[in-house]
Structure 1
Amino acid sequence: MDYISTRGKVGAIGFIDAVLMGLADDGGLLVPKTIPQVSADTLANWRRLSYPELALEVFSLYMSEEIPREDLKKLVDDSYATFRDEHVTPVRRVKNNLHILELFHGPTFAFKDIALQFLGNLYAYISRRKNSIIHILGATSGDTGASAIEGVRGKEGIRICILHPHGKVSKVQELQMTTVDDANVLNLSVDGNFDDCQRIIKELFADVPFKQKYHLRAINSINIARVLAQTVYYFYAYFQLENQGQAGPVNFSVPTGNFGDIFAGYLAKKMGLPVGKLILATNENNILERFVREGVYEPGEFHMTYSPSMDIQVASNFERYLYYLYGEDAAAVSALMEGFKKEGKIVVPGEKLRQVQADFAAYGVQNDECLATVGQYHDEYGYLLDPHTACGVAAADRLAGDGEVTVALATAHPAKFNEAIELLQIEQTFPPQIEALFDKPQRQTLVGGSNEAVKAELLKFF
């Protein structure tokens, strides 16, 4: 399996080189040269596999024996042994035809653990195998940072620096990052919002001499390994329902800000998984909803919401979708992204918009509706949603047709967002791992929202 750039100026490279490159050196994103096709017979054979067994099979399709199977099996087994549920990502039925895919049973109680426990172990494996230094640089709207830090803290040969927007993540998210005292971890609290953090990261990675000199590696979902790891739980959710007697296509409703999680579902569908609707749920930062409805991708006014991990205007994985929307035409994608850089928006023509609307349904959930959904499901079904998951559930309720089976992705444990839950006078019991955070000292450095300010801290750290 080879990997190429969405902008066409990176020659075919192997999986390990793709992981190490992160952002493609031409500024694009790496994608597999071909998408593996999974037959109905293979799906039937996979149906009874455990989560680690299924992950091994899916990953194997994208690696071409570049990592020996026994080594890969150990990486997978070690990564998912840290989860609190034997199914890793269990599916819970909440009401007729609506199920919740719980993705928060990892070490930091967020869906990012599923990819980042694996990616952390993979980076450690690559560092040992190549006898190389790895400096991880990432931005977070809340959950990626904690999951990434947990995946590599204390690991030899690896240093990690995470940028988060100062005062714009939940308290638990902040504590999960900043109470880590391992010497290989640096937290930078950036004066700005997540889009500022993400822009800095992308621009530093686009400075190829700087990236290569300091061995910079990506942990954000610009790294193709993140997306591949997330495809697994779409397959696993489908099989869990199939094993319960559910036949036929399944809808997935996905709360998303950076387009990575729903792109993984899109990739799983292109591989051959019987997916019905892919429902894209956003909050008031609804650039992606507008794109699906109108064909216009243009950042608007930034809103702080009860679902801060989705407070994103520029979705870093969107370019990967454009690549497939435009028939894998790298020149067309390059022109679109250059136009976006100059004009601040992308407009797709009518025939492309019809394809977008065939690929996705979309709904933007307002703040009041988000909270109301948390309250409704708590009162009527005894199930406590975090505010991001509530956006996915609200979108499913709006867009799933009568009789359609829908899985809403639960992206975080509600304890991570108690600020919103408290507004409903709902008391929840924190898991002991989260409760313990409040007694620990914090370590973070406040920096300005510029490349130079961040680069200065990196040079001191590396």
Structure 2
Amino acid sequence: MMGLAEDGGLLLPRTIPRVGCETLASWQNLTYPELAFEIMSRFIDDIPANDLKDIIARSYDTFTRNEITPLAHVGEYHILELFHGPTLAFKDIALQFLGNLFEYLLDKNKSTLNILGATSGDTGSAAIYGVRGKERIKIFILHPHGRVSKVQEKQMTTVVDDNVFNIAIRGSFDDAQAIVKKIFSDVDFKAENNLGAINSINWARVLAQVVYYVYSCLHIIDHEKDSSLDFAIPTGNFGDIFAGFIARRMLPEGTIRQLVLATNSNDILSRLVNRGDYSLGEVRITSSPSMDIQAASNFERYLYYLVDSDATRTGELMEEFLKNGSLDLKSYQEQIKRDFTAASVAEDEVLKTIAHYHAEYGYLLDPHTAVGVRAAEQYKTTGIPMICLATAHPAKFGEVVAEAVNTEPELPENISAILTAESRCEIMEANANDIREYISTHAHGKDEGK
């Protein structure tokens, strides 16, 4: 629940449990919630098994597909659909679980929590839907004003439960994330206001995302008799692909052969993989706004493993990055390239990819998924299954999809209903002190959400 550690670093488990071939085979016919329990229980030792099973079951009751994360077979690729939760984005998979987990722990301890998070689009709405109406929780979500899609904005700002506070800052997602990290680093303020994190800096979110990597591996192994496969992951904050990194370390060697890291023109992560250059650039506004990020929040976690689990060295490198805005990691290039391959996808390629898969297969990709599919095309190996993570329903980015295929994607009922609904949001400057004061004012008592 604490999110960041007290020294400002990110939390990780001491060890990553290994899963042998025999155990993996025994999971073959498990449902998604059953598999989630098997994986999560290997990391969680302080919640009774029946309670954990109940939390998981309730978390996935809100999804519209029994498989939770079904695979669609499109041309040469397997599209892992991660958007069948309440806000139609992959963040629901972790945040429905996290909301129920928080509620369980708070009720057990008879305590309260004020969640503070920043979003580049989907995290905010998924987090809000995960905790809306929960008695012991208030949530403060920062998003970059005017830099998220209309649907994303409406999904956040039309939630008017008393425990929900939406804040649009005049700046980028990186500005919002920096404010969150700065506030969390103030240990006294954090303690006084019972602050917790729901962003991908929260380890439990990464853990929940590990499950769908294993689930899709089991599906492919069962149906195609392949023992090795590749994944293509559109990523900006490094959280989704880091979950894949953890899954690969858990599973028998060779099960996950390749993790293809796909970025849009905000290419700090692809530059890291391809050139060993991890340096800030100007945030570019693209058709895939959830990836319009330069400083990737979860990169610190991977850095820890890159430097042989040396926490002191990790801290030194992160201090250097905060000071200079760059890290020269060319000396680690060989290891980085063993862990990932990477591609940066230009804006025109995103639209072409959406258009091609719609014309050829009648399948609509959202722009983030299109980034991943285009990167997958560059690294597809004959005979090796390639799974592309579909991170959002195309209707969440209807204008971009319509530009590519000349027709608006059909709006799910829960999306069309909110487009004309009343919104409530506070617009503020990207100033940590102002945000801190706002939280202090609203964190205690039963005032109405903003």
| TM interval, short-chain normalised | over 0.9
Q: Which residue of 2 aligns with 1:110?
A: 89
Q: Which residue of 2 aligns with 1:439?
A: 420
Q: Which residue of 2 aligns with 1:9?
A: none
Once the 2 structures are TM-superposed, how far is the Cα of residue 100 of structure 1 from its aligned partner? 0.2
- Of 44, 47, 56, which residue of structure 1 is paired with 2:28? 47
Answering whether residue 273 of structure 2 is matched by residue 292 of structure 1, we say yes
Q: Return 5+ residue gaps in structure 1 as ranges.
A: 1-19
For 1:290 and 1:242, how far apart are their aligned partners in 2?
A: 32
Secondary structure of 2:41's counterpart equals: helix
CA RMSD of aligned residues (A): 0.8
Secondary structure of 1:423's counterpart equals: helix
With 241-250 and 28-37 compared, the bigger mean Cα shift is at: 241-250
For 2:336 and 2:367, how far apart are their aligned partners in 1?
A: 26
- Of 245, 252, 272, which residue of structure 1 is paired with 2:224? 245
For 1:340 and 1:429, how far apart are their aligned partners in 2?
A: 44
With 371-380 and 239-248 compared, the bigger mean Cα shift is at: 239-248
Q: Is the 8 A contact 2:268 2:278 kept in 1?
A: yes
For 1:195 and 1:217, how far apart are their aligned partners in 2?
A: 19
Once the 2 structures are TM-superposed, how far is the Cα of residue 403 of structure 1 from its aligned partner? 2.5
- Of 35, 47, 69, which residue of structure 2 is paired with 1:67? 47
1:354-393 equivalence runs, <5 A: 354-393=334-373
Query: Which amino acid in 1 is paired with 2:380?
Result: A
Once the 2 structures are TM-superposed, how far is the Cα of residue 457 of structure 1 from its aligned partner? 1.5
1:191-230 equivalence runs, <5 A: 191-230=170-209
For 2:222 and 2:415, how far apart are their aligned partners in 1?
A: 34
With 142-151 and 267-276 compared, the bigger mean Cα shift is at: 267-276
Query: Which amino acid in 2 is paired with 1:406?
Result: M
TM-score by length of 1: 0.94
Answering whether residue 10 of structure 2 is matched by residue 25 of structure 1, we say no
For 1:354 and 1:302, how far apart are their aligned partners in 2?
A: 28
Once the 2 structures are TM-superposed, how far is the Cα of residue 404 of structure 1 from its aligned partner? 2.1
Query: Which amino acid in 2 is paired with 1:263?
Result: F
Q: Is the 8 A contact 2:399 2:408 kept in 1?
A: no
Secondary structure of 2:224's counterpart equals: coil
Secondary structure of 1:439's counterpart equals: coil
Query: Which amino acid in 2 is paired with 1:264?
Result: A
Query: Which amino acid in 2 is paired with 1:102?
Result: E
- Of 30, 35, 41, which residue of structure 1 is paired with 2:16? 35
Secondary structure of 1:428's counterpart equals: coil
Answering whether residue 395 of structure 2 is matched by residue 415 of structure 1, we say yes
Once the 2 structures are TM-superposed, how far is the Cα of residue 427 of structure 1 from its aligned partner? 2.5
Q: Which residue of 2 aligns with 1:167?
A: 146
Q: Which residue of 1 aligns with 2:244?
A: 265
Once the 2 structures are TM-superposed, how far is the Cα of residue 44 of structure 1 from its aligned partner? 0.5
Query: Which amino acid in 2 is paired with 1:112?
Result: K
Q: Which residue of 2 aligns with 1:276?
A: 257
Answering whether residue 134 of structure 2 is matched by residue 155 of structure 1, we say yes
Q: Which residue of 1 aligns with 2:38?
A: 57
Query: Which amino acid in 1 is paired with 2:140?
Result: C
For 2:384 and 2:215, how far apart are their aligned partners in 1?
A: 19
For 1:302 and 1:21, how far apart are their aligned partners in 2?
A: 29
Secondary structure of 1:225's counterpart equals: helix
Query: Which amino acid in 2 is paired with 1:361?
Result: T
Secondary structure of 1:438's counterpart equals: coil
Query: Which amino acid in 2 is paired with 1:138?
Result: G
Q: Which residue of 2 aligns with 1:10?
A: none
For 1:223 and 1:130, how far apart are their aligned partners in 2?
A: 20
Q: Which residue of 2 aligns with 1:310?
A: 291
For 2:226 and 2:377, how far apart are their aligned partners in 1?
A: 21
- Of 375, 379, 385, which residue of structure 2 is paired with 1:399? 379
TM-score by length of 2: 0.97
For 1:305 and 1:349, how far apart are their aligned partners in 2?
A: 28
Q: Is the 8 A contact 2:277 2:330 kept in 1?
A: no
Deviations 1:296-332 (A, max 9, x none): 1001121100000000000000000000011001111
For 2:422 and 2:437, how far apart are their aligned partners in 1?
A: 24
For 1:427 and 1:344, how far apart are their aligned partners in 2?
A: 40
For 1:170 and 1:246, how far apart are their aligned partners in 2?
A: 40
Q: Which residue of 2 aligns with 1:346?
A: 327
Deviations 1:385-444 (A, max 9, x none): 000000000000011222221000000000000121121212221001000011210000
Secondary structure of 1:291's counterpart equals: helix
For 1:46 and 1:209, how far apart are their aligned partners in 2?
A: 45
Secondary structure of 1:358's counterpart equals: helix
Once the 2 structures are TM-superposed, how far is the Cα of residue 192 of structure 1 from its aligned partner? 0.2
Identity %: 52
For 1:416 and 1:444, how far apart are their aligned partners in 2?
A: 20
Query: Which amino acid in 2 is paired with 1:159?
Result: K
- Of 412, 427, 430, which residue of structure 1 is paired with 2:411? 430
Deviations 1:232-290 (A, max 9, x none): 00000111112212312110000000000000000000112510110000000000000
Query: Which amino acid in 2 is paired with 1:62?
Result: F
- Of 86, 91, 97, which residue of structure 1 is paired with 2:71? 91
Secondary structure of 1:77's counterpart equals: helix
Q: Which residue of 2 aligns with 1:119?
A: 98
